[in-house]
A and B are shown apart, each in its own frame.
Chain A
Amino acid sequence: MSARLMQGNEAVAEGALKAGVRFFGGYPITPSTEIAEGMAKLLPKVGGTFIQMEDEIASMGVVLGASLAGRKVLTASSGPGISLKQELIGYAAAAEIPVVIVNVQRVGPSTGQPTAPSQSDVMQARWGTHGDHSIIAISPWSVREAFDLAVDAVNLAERFRTPVILLMDEIVGHLRERVELPESIEIYERRKPKSTRAEGYQPYKPDEDLVPNIANFGEGFHIHVTGLIHDETGFPVGSPKVTEESIRRLHEKIDRAGDEIIKVEESFMDDAEFAVVSFGGTARTAYEAVAEARNRGIKIGMVRLITIFPFADKILNDLASRVKGILVAELNYGQVVNEVRRAVNGKCPVKLCAKYNMQIFEPEEILKAIEDLAANQDQTYTVHSTGFEKVKDPEEVENTGGDD
């Protein structure tokens, strides 16, 4: 396929369609709206359904219904809308309904800064809905990867029967760049019941990989779906044993498949003594900072998290054995840094380079933090709109606001 200029959000719509999504329910919100627009254009041409609902909660409900009826489904929103979807994201986790939720992150909390970039919904992706549950969240750094991860998100949702958060940011969502899309992609088709009721089929009975083969509505099986804790029949049970087994299985079906799910990308790591950990649009800037630091003689590499959750605990822990220090660059007050510290568990210093003033990092800001990390300066960094500053504790810093 020839090269063309494409926007990140457009690429998500294209990727989802190629992966087999045939139902989109949504409600427009900046900076995610181009995904809904893309699906509205594309879906009718392939016999799919686009529906704009009355709000984000209904949008989440309608895609879960369509998924239970056998469609591959997508919804897209940004912070305020994702907050509204949380109850039904938990329902999808509990009832094991495949669904992809795209969050094109903007500045929050609340309405925040609607058109400005941020990566501050990382922990919401993990824990936005209540209760013990597993989740998959993946984050692209380019328009091409937005396409690829939209495909992956759909496949993962179908494969593990779980909500998958495609964690975009405004940087990549609104970025247009040169892209060549692949000629063909791999698609995972949702598994169907392997036996009949007479042969003992139970919809929530897990297969060997702990994922159940739940029949789609309308394909000859009577299915009961509930957010209450349920046994293999799908009906609620008030027993400690079933509750424990159910919650454990929801976690283990994802945890066991860590090697299959978790993806990171390493750059300049062969002889690296230090590492920058970054993700999404911020990793583009971090990459340039790392390349420049190399030019200045600092042996530093980059580990880019493609999968955010399940978190790459083992990879980060191994990384900490190979390097003298890690710098986490993220466009928020400090979220992934805490996951890295947990995974590293004291093996090496983990420093934060944070920014939360509506503006993306400039390479020289991350470069300054890299130089001080390599010089063993014990600092935490916050990049201000008024210039670069370093402080002992980010809590002592007041954001002076953006001017853009």
Chain B
Amino acid sequence: MRKQLRLSGSGGQGVITAAIIFAEAAVSEGFDAVQSQSYGPEARGGASKSEVIIDDGKIFHPHVHCPDVVLAMTQKAADKYFSDLSSDGILLLDSDLVPNVPDVSNVVRIPITRLAVEKLGKSLFANIVALGALAHLTNLVDFDAVKKAVAHRVPSHTIDQNMQALQIGWDAVEDFYNYEEKIAG
């Protein structure tokens, strides 16, 4: 059983941190996990990508091939990283930051950064909102393990807000699917 995730955006949006936390949660649940990343020489603003593979067996080659979920937090990242999505893979987009939706069958559009700003007052929490959504969409690592991994890594005075951010992301996926059903029904 293998799950492959690709988290992409712009340097400073925290996609690498989100990937690390997700891999930590997977390890705490007894999975093998690898996390790799690629980014430009800039500290902020350059393209940023991180990949996570989770498996119940051993992982050798560390790069993702045909991901199950791709997160894109910018239009540039969305355009660049969706093409090898697996046939039933899901593309998770920040709906405000990715106005032009790539032609993929399973797209989940959530205003990730806007939710962080409106509900928690800071875009800083966008990556944790995204992580909450990813935890829901991958449906592999226990949500409590993800919560523990977040609490372990963030500064202690921000734990409450980060827990809220996770829940906001999780709920946003529920809302998205409910809305889709309503439209379809």
Binding site for B on A (CB under 8 A): 3-5, 30, 114-116, 171, 174-178, 281, 284-285, 287-288, 360, 362-363, 404
Contacts and interface: CB of A to CB of B under 8 A. Distances in A.
12 contacts: A4-B27, A5-B20, A5-B35, A115-B40, A174-B36, A176-B35, A177-B59, A177-B62, A178-B27, A178-B32, A288-B61, A360-B63
Contacts of A363: 61
Contact of A5 (B23, B39, B62, B63): B23
Among B24, B30, B63, the most chain A Cβ lie within 10 Å of the Cβ of B63
B34 interface: yes
Given A174-B36, A176-B36, A362-B63, 9 more contacts: A5-B35, A114-B41, A115-B39, A171-B36, A175-B35, A176-B23, A177-B34, A284-B61, A362-B61
A10 to B, nearest CB: 12
Given A4-B27, A30-B41, A177 B63 contact: no
Nearest to A143: B34
Interface residues of B, number: 22
Contacts of B39: 115
Contacts of B60: 284-285, 287-288
B61 A285 contact: yes
Nearest to B19: A176
Contact of B62 (A4, A116, A171): A171
A360 B36 CA distance: 12
Contacts of A30: 41
Given A4-B27, A115-B41, A363-B61, A178 B33 contact: yes
Nearest to B38: A404
Nearest to B49: A404
Interface string B4-40: 0000000000000000100110010011111111111
A281 B60 CA distance: 9
A362 B31 contact: no
Interface centre among B39, B40, B59, B61 (most CB of A within 10 A): B61
B119 interface: no
Contacts of B44: none
B61 A174 contact: no
Of B27, B31, B35, most A-chain CB atoms within 10 Å: B27
Contacts of B20: 5, 176
A360 B40 CA distance: 16
Interface in B67-120: none
B25 to A, nearest CB: 9
Contacts of A116: 38
In the complex, which of the residues A174, A281, A362, A363 has the most CB atoms of chain B within 10 Å of its own CB atom? A174
